Amino acid sequence: MSERSPERIRNLALTGQAGTGKTTLAEALLAAAGAIGQLGSVERGSTVSDAGAQEKTLHHSISASVLGLEYGDVWINLLDTPGYTDFQAAALSILPAVETVAVVIDAENGVDTTARRMMQWALDRGLCRLVVINRIDAASARLEALLEDVRQLLGAECLPLNLPAEGASRVVDCFFAPQGEADFSSVAATHEMLVDQVVEVDEALMALYLEQGEELSPEQLHAPFEAALREGHLVPVCFTSATSGAGVRELLTVFERLMPNPLEGNPPPFLRQDAEGTHQYLAAPDPEAHVLAHVVKVEHDPFLGKLSVFRVHQGTVTRDSRLFAGDARKAFRVGTLYRLQGREHLEVERCGPGEIAALAKVEEAGLDSVLHDSHDEDHIHLRPVALPAPVFGLALHTRRHGDEQKLTEALARMTEEDPGLRVEQDSATRETVLRGQGELHLRMALERLSERYRIEVDTSTPSIAYRETIRASAAGHCRHKKQSGGAGQFGEVFLRVEPLPRGSGFEFADTIRGGAIPSSLLPAVEKGVRQAMQEGVAAGYPLQDVRVVVEDGKTHPVDSKEIAFVIAGRKAFLNAVEEAGPQVLEPLVELEVEGPGSAMGDLTADLAASRGRIQDTRTLGDLVSIQAVVPLAEIADYPRRLNALTGGSGRYTLRFSHYEPAPDPVQRELIQAHRRKREDA
């Protein structure tokens, strides 16, 4: 990949539901462009994209692949993204590298939930959009109805650039040279619809078209076509069959002649922070400007080490360039630059605006890092991508003693590679919890732990992070006195505890008068209180939403040491909490679930049986969206239940909402379990 001018570059991502044929389509595009000699197969594990061992076994992508091909006079960077919901974070996190998102829809299965979400996500992000209807040879009889579904469900701005012909064995062009017969609709009428839609963004061209009745050439339409793409006023639809080859070359021509280059797409949403606040910053795709690049993917190669895949938005990166990552004060030197072709790494000398490349063994360059060559860009970052929260968790326990540090290091690498994973070290439950997007996601992660890092773990359901609080105000007192022949200990504390509004945390204050407890010893009292809060009182869970006010105390001129007031503060606090009516709080989460409308009754009944409170329901075409607040303890097995209720088509997202008192039966069970544990200790 020698350096190319931005005008000659096209960056596109293939997105969509698993099973729509994205990887096979990418393979067909590579073959049609002459980038590969022989067409690979997903089933045989021989495609350029799905080159990982897990992908070959699963027959599906689990991470995004960067592919390159030359067609006509342009270089096309094609990103093949995973379609499983479990790996959606890996798909979304790499999309800031492209100007265009191509949403692939299976002709037999039609418009799915993932297609709708990707279309909306790309619109919100300001990316141009393209719909590719694949496998048309398998569903030729229903393509006309499917096109109507696309326009109804994804927007009336979705208009076909070509139409199936001769029983979907080929496609006929409706834009460049609109002539011939299609399997349905009129090529001429479709061309007129396209032109009408495009000229609406250019008043002068519209006047020429309408008033003078002049036929407009594709060259005249190019600029308004790009404007319509940028504004979301037009979403082209293309028909293809990756297996038969129908429409594949035509799709490459669309990429070459109609999809935006880095100068034509909407500028990336960079933000700059300074003393006056945060401002939008527009990168200039100028190879002579300061470098501004963005890391969109990280992977750990067994031979090359850490690889940081980045998109150049401004300037030129070369071997031996000195770059900064974010606001780091120390620069790193670029060693070897690579162009990626699936798992293959091809060395290059330089890369300019619009190009996608990778650099090796730079620890500072993590996912979402902005790379630059001047401290003037220290505080520039890209608007973060909204990724789905990891909601499904497993507590991990190493089988071999001594593997704990290896596990920590392996999980750090895995979460760096996969933004959909998150590791939590729960200080209250003393567990290492790995969270992901679903059961398949975590199963793949555990396989990597075993096969790549040689770490065997046992798993269990994570403990629920309950908390405790108090119902009322109460006073507590402790007089700590210890004499053992040498120096003694003495500290006396009078304090009061008060409940705070939910979510307030902890407050510590004093109303000491006359120096009854010197100010130098009050931190010791607070330390003792915090120790007791962390250990819990009723059920062994940390306390929160409590205000502690130290009201009085006594000291001894010789024996009042810090340790004495730590102990006195702790015991006085415990005494007060016992009188203040301790209670257990449980975490609640906001749950949004989508599924077929026919399953709405079953979904709401299941949530009600799980102590969920329905907040809102909405109909989205043939889908239903339900928002509810549900106790976290009730949804540990929700993925399994949801699959059973929706036939595998349901999807959900979770985020923490708040804590509230657990029901009395739950309170009693947790308190009794804590008492038994103390008795057995």
Please give the helix or strand (H or E) that residue 613 lies within, else none.
Answer: strand 613-620
CA distance 620 to 564: 64
CATH of 468-580, one of 3.30.365.10, 1.10.3470.10, 3.30.230.10, 3.30.230.70: 3.30.230.10
pLDDT value, residue 1 = 41
Cα distances from 377 to residues 281, 296, 325, in angstroms, run: 10, 18, 10
CA dist., res. 668 & res. 486, Å (int): 46
Query: Which residues have CB under 8 Å from 194's CB, separation 6+?
Result: 159, 161, 174, 175, 234
Segments of the chain with pLDDT less than 50 = 1-2
As beta bridge partners, residue 476 has: 495
Q: Hey, how many other C-beta atoms are within 10 angstroms of the C-beta on 282? A: 11
Question: Can you spell out the DSSP letters for 633-663?
Answer: GG-TTHHHHHHHHHTT--EEEEEEEEEEEPP
Q: Token pair for residue 357?
A: 């490349």
Question: Which CATH number is 392-460's, of 3.10.180.10, 1.10.3720.10, 3.90.550.10, 3.30.70.870?
Answer: 3.30.70.870
Spatial separation of the C-alpha atoms in residues 225 and 200, rounded to whole Å: 10
CA distances from 300 to 93, 320, 452, 507 (A): 17, 22, 10, 45
Spatial contact of 240 and 134, defined as CB atoms under 8 Å apart: yes
| Helix or strand holding residue 404 (H, E) | helix 404-417
Question: CA 551 to CA 475: how far, in whole Å?
Answer: 10
CATH code of the domain occupying 6-258 = 3.40.50.300
- Domain boundaries of the chain, sorted by first residue: 6-258, 272-382, 392-460, 468-580, 587-665
Gap between the Cα atoms of 226 and 220, Å rounded: 11
Q: Which two structure tokens, joined as six digits, stand for 390? A: 């990891």
The conformational region for residue 281 under phi > 0 = left, psi -120 to 50 = alpha, else beta, is beta
**What's the distance, Cα to Cα, between the start and end of the chain in Å?**
66
The residue whose two tokens read 């990724």 is 387
* CB-count burial class (<10 Å; 0-12, 13-18, 19+) for 659: buried
Contact present, 533 and 525 (Cβ < 8 Å): no
For residue 166, give the amino acid letter.
Answer: E
Instruction: Give per-residue pLDDT as tens, 395-451.
Output: 999 999 989 999 999 999 999 999 999 998 866 567 899 988 878 899 999 999 999
Is-contact 209 195, C-beta < 8 A?
A: yes
The label of the residue with tokens 């790379």 reads 371
Among 3, 6, 4, 8, CA closest to 286 = 6
Segment 221-276, tens digit of pLDDT: 999 999 999 999 999 999 999 999 999 999 999 999 999 999 999 999 999 887 77
Residue among 528, 531, 551 nearest 473 (CA): 551
Q: Tell me the helices (H) and strands (E) count for the chain, helix number first.
A: 16, 35
The topology (CATH level 3) of 272-382 is: Elongation Factor Tu (Ef-tu); domain 3 (2.40.30)
Sheet containing 9-15: give its strands across. Answer: 65-71, 74-80, 9-15, 100-106, 128-134, 235-239, 158-160
Q: Which amino acid would we find at residue 363?
A: E
Q: What is the dihedral of CA 88, 93, 94, 98, to 10 degrees?
A: 110
C-alpha 368/C-alpha 141 separation (Å) is 45
CA distance 132 to 513: 76
pLDDT of amino acid 421? 93
> pTM of the predicted model, to two decimals?
0.78
Burial class (CB in 10 A: 0-12, 13-18, 19+), 677: exposed
Domains 468-580 and 587-665 share a fold: no
What's the pLDDT score for residue 429?
62
| The domain made up of 587-665 is a member of CATH 3.30.70.240 | yes
d(Cα 176, Cα 68) in Å, to the nearest integer? Answer: 25
